[in-house]
Amino acid sequence: MATVGQRGMSSPRELTRMGDRISFIYLERCILHREDNAITAEDAEGVTHIPAATIGTLLLGPGTRVTHQAMSLLGDSGAGVVWVGEQGVRFYSGGRSLNRSSSLVEAQATKWANRRTRLEVAREMYRMRFPNENPDSLTRHELLGREGRRVKECYRKEAERAGVPWNGRIYVPGDFNAGDPVNQAVTAAAQCMYGIAQTTVAALGCAPGLGFIHSGHELAFVLDIADLYKTEIAIPIAFDVAAESPDDVGSRTRRAIRDHINKRRLLRRCVNDIKHLVLTEAASDNLDDEDIDRVTLQSDHGTEVEAGRNYADDDIYEVPW
């Protein structure tokens, strides 16, 4: 088997599109290594081969060890890696972007840098979550108030539907067991959604810290995207799992989330939602996610010129003293 140093990096055409990947795979108490272009997971029952380019997010649970070669392959494949455990998500790590173009991150930064367009995106996020409401005239504070009331109402309705007692959201950072089973299920569902959102944001080359609703954190935009699916997917599944049994809530919630989003192809939807939020319609139609792999230089009047050449003797670019 060739060493890492002998391998070339994957080209954009060799990588599986983000929307076509498996949403996430959860592994625990195993050793992860690399064999050709597959990740191997070895435990007491044997070795399992997982094609790296098909993974959206890899969730590593307690007792997991991973080699440098495995991480190199995951990074080259654009897969996200999230360390999780009984006490919740410990660390987020995104692989290399599948999108070689900077179009998305530039569009995101442009909308984020302007207060008016930043608010417009925040309103659109609210509209996507609650399509029966019109947030066009709402201020930021009014958006936060309405979102809070809708989430509380969602918790109440899901508790009534599933027949699960609900005494409010209880979450203590670093202590997964602080809440009752339904709160543990909600936390586990949130972990999965954050991992999926983080991986998609990283795969598209967006800036995770430039949030339109959340702010002041390196994953602000990730939290924005994950919240798009909170009341539709995460909370209902968490209550269903808690209603079935109070045992092993965390792992059962992860499996239920995985099965649901694979069936509904949430990764593809997540990719399209991000494009919808940060790109104009014309720019979205012209964007090629995989094939653009070029570098240009910024010149005057918003133009871009070819990189890899010296412009010192080009009269067009001389600046008069």
Amino acid sitting at position 240: D
CB 188 within 8 A of CB 255: no
Residues 6+ apart with CB under 8 A from 130: 146, 150
Query: Within the chain, how many helices (H) and strands (E) appear?
Result: 10, 10
Would you list which residues are annotated within the binding site for Mn(2+)?
147, 214, 227
Residues 6+ apart with CB under 8 A from 74: 39, 52, 55, 58, 81, 95
- The beta-strand segments (E) located in 225-317 are 296-298, 304-306
The CA-based dihedral angle spanning residues 142, 144, 145, 151, taken in that order and rounded to the nearest 10 degrees = 140
Give, in degrees to the nearest 5, the angle at Cα 275 between 270 and 279: 160
Cβ count near 171 (within 10 Å)? 14
Cα 165 from Cα 179, distance rounded (Å): 13
CB 107 within 8 A of CB 279: yes
Residues 6+ apart with CB under 8 A from 60: 27, 28, 32, 66, 81, 82, 83, 84
CB 26 within 8 A of CB 63: no
User: Would you say the C-alpha torsion 216, 218, 224, 230 has a positive or negative sign?
Assistant: negative
DSSP tag of 98: S
Cα 283 from Cα 226, distance rounded (Å): 24
Would you list which residues are annotated within the binding site?
147, 214, 227
Collapsed DSSP state (helix, strand, coil) of residue 34: strand
